[in-house]
Amino acid sequence: MTDTKHMKVAITRFDPDQDEAPRLQEYEIPVTPGWKVLDAINYIKDECDSSVSHRWSCRMAVCGSCGMMVNGEPKLTCKTSLDQYGDRIVIEPLANFPIVRDLVVELDGFMHKFRSVKPWIIRAKEQAEDAAELNEKGTFSQSPEQLATFKQFSMCINCLLCYAACPVVANEPEFIGPAAIALGHRYDLDSRDEGEATRLEIFRGEGTVFSCSFANECSEVCPKNVDPAAAVNQAKFAAVIDWAKNLVLPRGGN
Amino acid sequence: MAGPANPEAMAPPKPGPTRTAPPQQPSTWWSAPRIRNYLLFDATGIVYLLAGLVALRLVWALGKGPEAWQAALASLSNPLYLGFHVLALVSVVFVAVRFFSLFPKAQPKAIGPLKPPPAQVILIGLYAAWIGVTAILCAIIGGVF
């Protein structure tokens, strides 16, 4: 027989049609040992109050949908065990994001910033010219060493916990933020990509890598150990080196 | 309950069709040990500003002549000044240790054909340089050179 206990779960409620501002609503629910925070929210939605709105999907820390503030800390709720908390927890929407409804935040601001770093493989040549560099399977070859250079940064699931933790995001709205920079840097390090100069030009602009004060909060809360702070600060180095190289060799040495 | 954050934080480029509530941030941010460390790191800037003002005061006294200089030096033995300089020393050590711990991961993956040394080697180098420079400065101040 499982050892069920009761827990008070306070959840942010906000209905844009009725509420002036977000408020907390508390529910007392039975909790089974081993439950994750997401299980508690799902229980509340299924058994107590079907009007509670939240995002979730995979339940295995892959989709990045269920990021929320749990007792003031950004957490992936499907990965965060309830056992570590006492008799009461407070679940709020991710900090630093406009709130659409209850625990759901507005992501358009992030998507706009994300696109600005061109997070895709950029090739300088036309597709037909690229054919000469393809292997017999029609794909680009990449050695394990080349993959290891950027693999860590490609593990980002866009859960946006880093944005909720970053003190710069909280204070400088124009800052494009940790995940976007980490993914831009990921493509800069990819041996198949030829868009590094374009992205470094972006990184030298306003509200990008040099806005980061290296608080390291993004890396502390990252559930996938991506270490966005490393990416942002490596990108700082790369942007400075590229700038100095352009200063000394304005036409790339040609 | 969370408190208000910067109302423009992560705002979409164009407002959507639905009204949204402004961003929030946890009202308990100060109680998280990690954030507290970061705030302490930021607050050391105030200590450095004050240390700079003390240095400027000494320079100003130097310009006023030998008597003013000696008086300024004597005033540094005041317990308040001694306490402040202990605080400044603690601040410097705290910032250096924090910076050194983060520095290795900020290294570029490669500069041309050169790859950065392992993190432990970078750390040893940083601490060795710090101790070396401190020893040289102590030797100069102590009149060894």
pLDDT, tens only, B34-82: 677 788 888 999 999 999 999 999 999 999 999 999 999 999 999 999 9
ipTM above 0.95, yes or no: no
- Residue extents of the structural domains in chain B: 31-105, 107-145
Q: A73 and B32 in contact by Cβ < 8 A?
A: yes
- Residue pLDDT, tens place only, A52-91: 999 999 999 999 999 999 998 999 999 999 999 999 999 9
Of B6, B102, B111, the CB nearest to A216: B102
Q: Is the pLDDT of residue B1 over 70?
A: no
Q: Measure the CA–CA gap between B31 and B12, rounded to whole angstroms.
A: 30
CATH code reported for the domain at B31-105: 1.20.1300.10
Chain B CB contacts of A96 under 8 Å are 5-6, 9-10, 23, 25
Higher pLDDT, B83 or A131: B83
**A12 CB within 8 Å of a chain B CB:** yes
Question: Residue A126 has which token pair?
Answer: 């036309």
Q: How confident is the model at residue A174 (pLDDT cuts 50, 70, 90)?
A: very high
Span A2-54, pLDDT tens digits: 688 999 999 999 999 999 999 999 999 999 999 999 999 999 999 999 999 99
pLDDT tens-digit readout, B101-113: 999 999 988 777 8
Nearest one of A61, A1, A9, A53 to A30, comparing CA atoms: A9
CATH 1.10.1060.10 spans which residues of chain A?
108-248
Could you tell me which chain B residue has the CA closest to the CA of A148? B109
Q: Using the beta-carbon criterion (under 8 Å), do B102 and A69 form an inter-chain contact?
A: no
What is the distance between the alpha carbons of residues B3 and B1, in angstroms, rounded to a whole number?
A: 7
Partner-chain contact A170 B25, CB within 8 Å: yes
Residue A249, chain B, CB below 8 Å: the answer is no
3-class secondary-structure state, position A30: strand
CB-based contact, A190 to chain B, within 8 Å:
no
Output the six-digit token pair for B124: 């040893």
On chain A, the residues whose CB falls within 8 A of the CB of B100 are none
Residue A29 to residues A36, A88, B74, Cα–Cα distance (Å): 13, 10, 68
Give the span between the Cα atoms of A68 and A66, in whole angstroms.
Answer: 6
CATH code reported for the domain at A5-105: 3.10.20.30
Give CA–CA dist A30/A173, Å, rounded. 40
Q: Are B12 and A171 in contact (CB < 8 Å)?
A: no
Whether chain B has a CB inside 8 Å of the CB on A72: the answer is yes
| Residue B136: predicted pLDDT | 96
State the Cα–Cα distance between residues A26 and A48, nearest whole angstrom: 11
Q: Is the dihedral of CA A97, A101, A102, A107 positive or negative?
A: negative
A169 touches chain B (CB under 8 A): yes
Element (H, E) at A182: helix A178-188
- At the fourth CATH level, the homologous superfamily of domain A108-248 is Alpha-helical ferredoxin (1.10.1060.10)
Residue A207, φ and ψ in degrees, nearest 5 = 70, 25
- Residue count of chain B: 145
Query: pTM, whole model, 2 decimals?
Result: 0.89
Secondary structure of chain B in HEC code, one letter for each residue:
CCEECCCCCCCCCCCCCCCCECCEECCCHHHCHHHHHHHHHHHHHHHHHHHHHHHHHHHHHHHHCHHHHHHHHHHCCCHHHHHHHHHHHHHHHHHHHHHHHHHHHHCCCCECCECCCCHHHHHHHHHHHHHHHHHHHHHHHCCCC
Judged by CB atoms closer than 8 Å, whether chains meet at A108 and B16 is answered as yes
